[in-house]
A and B are shown apart, each in its own frame.
Chain A
Amino acid sequence: MSGKDFFVKRYRQLGWRYEPIELKQAIRINSMNAERTEVTKRLESRGIQLQQIPFLEDGYWISKSDFSVGATTEYLSGLYSIQEAAAQMPTTLLSEPKDKLVLDACAAPGGKTVQLADLMCNTGAIIALDIEKRRLTALSNHLERCRVKNTIVYHQDARQARRLNLKFDRILLDMPCSGNFASDKEWFNRRTLEDVENNAKLQREILIEAKKILKEDGEIVYATCSLEPEEDEMNINWAITNLGLQTEYIDCYGDEGLTDIFGRKLDGSVENCRRIWPRKTQGFFVCKLKKRAKPR
């Protein structure tokens, strides 16, 4: 079960008509290192045309640039990061992260870790994990370039995060996933439903671990860049049923989570999630989950 026709038909059944898109490059200003207006002014003086992303405070699309925005003094000085628009959303959904202990469970290559440090104004602490050591080098370079000060990085599988012996206020699960066609031109040729199911299983294993190390009243932001419901709404439905986690309403760009997947009815609270079909951005899915304190 694979191929473009197979997946496009599934999207149609989920209520979305496939259309190819050209992704716009986006940047995010690291406001801990510079004022937004100062950075935009400096980039515009170099001939880079920017367009503010309407649903992101620090996000800008690159409308025009005659050279790579990854090769400017401002970039190398950590004043901004190159980060796709939808990928900038999950981190902004963590409530009041300042001074908190936050786990970034699948952190490499670090775009969201840096964004988290920025939102935390380098306060509190971030523990960043990743299973792929090679990608942790990119993460470390990213942290150094962007002057992040509040992060500890470990080479560790998120499914064994309890070994840290810590309980977290907030957990960001930017899950390893199947991706989507908007950010990978070969996606339809490479992916099968079996891949999707394997990734969904891995994501559930990470969710189980995350729940164990989350403080009472703590929250998890779950994100994938997959459009496949097995990795999105169906996993959230599973977490509600099997882990006792509750979804929280999030006010952000995107459509409500689907509660009817190929005829299967999911818990009504799954609609609190946000599904982002590829239009202005790549495909994405985000959800906020809360672990309620047990009544005494």
Chain B
Amino acid sequence: MSQISDFIGKFNTSMSLDQDLIVKKDDRYFLLDPKLKSLIKKDFLYAGIYLGRTKNDAFFPSFSLLTMLAQTDPNRIVVDNKTEWLFICGRDIFKQGITRLSKPGRKGDYTLILTEHGDSLGFGRILHYVDTKDKSKIAVKNIADIGDFLRRER
């Protein structure tokens, strides 16, 4: 569980998750509501909100967790339409694609990547102080993006 809060902390924010309502299935974590908690049996495959999974002690968040994170006050960057699609295709983000620095964060931190409409596209690691004047520099390294839903189906 500490892996989840450590992960959230990298966005320079916090989120309270009721530990009693988190269930683990193999290497995956799910957040339930009390109703689901009262109904669930051990052999489930998926339940409630999927939070993410651990592998070799590293935590890989779900996109549901990133959406929940967007409701708090995390590091976040808004990108333009062209960058939005490039990011979904797995590309990194250059400074010139950033339209708004809502809470830019520091080098090495994680940041959420949002569309102009506020949809969460995924997250990345801040490589440079994003207010740099050199627009050709990669500002954010892509770590996970919602294009993963397409790649999973292949």
| Residues of chain A having any CB pair with chain B under 8 Å | 38, 42, 70-71, 73-74, 76-77, 79, 101, 124-125, 127, 136-141, 143-145, 147, 149-155, 164, 166
A225 to B84, CA, bound (A): 38
A144 to B149, CA, bound (A): 9
List the B residue with the shortest CB-CB distance to A76. B146
A14 to B60, CA, bound (A): 55
A137 to B117, CA, bound (A): 29
Count how many pairs of residues, one from A and one from B, have CB atoms less than 8 Å apart in the complex: 80
| Residues of chain B having any CB pair with chain A under 8 Å | 33, 35-36, 39-41, 43-50, 62-64, 67, 84-85, 88, 115, 117, 119-121, 146-147, 149-150, 152-153
Contacts of A74 in B (CB 8 A): 119
> Would you call the interface of chain B mostly helix, strand, loop, or mixed?
mixed
Given contacts A73-B115, A76-B150, contact A151 B47 (CB under 8 A): yes
CB-based contact B115/A152 at 8 Å: no
A140 CB contact (under 8 Å) in B40, B45, B84, B121: B45
Contacts of A151 in B (CB 8 A): 46-48
Among B43, B62, B149: residue with most chain A CB under 10 A: B149
Given contacts A73-B85, A144-B63, A145-B149, contact A125 B39 (CB under 8 A): yes
List the B residue with the shortest CB-CB distance to A128. B46
List the B residue with the shortest CB-CB distance to A46. B81
CB-based contact A73/B121 at 8 Å: yes
Closest approach, in angstroms, between the C-beta of A275 and any C-beta of chain B? 33
A149 to B67, CA, bound (A): 12
A70 to B150, CA, bound (A): 8
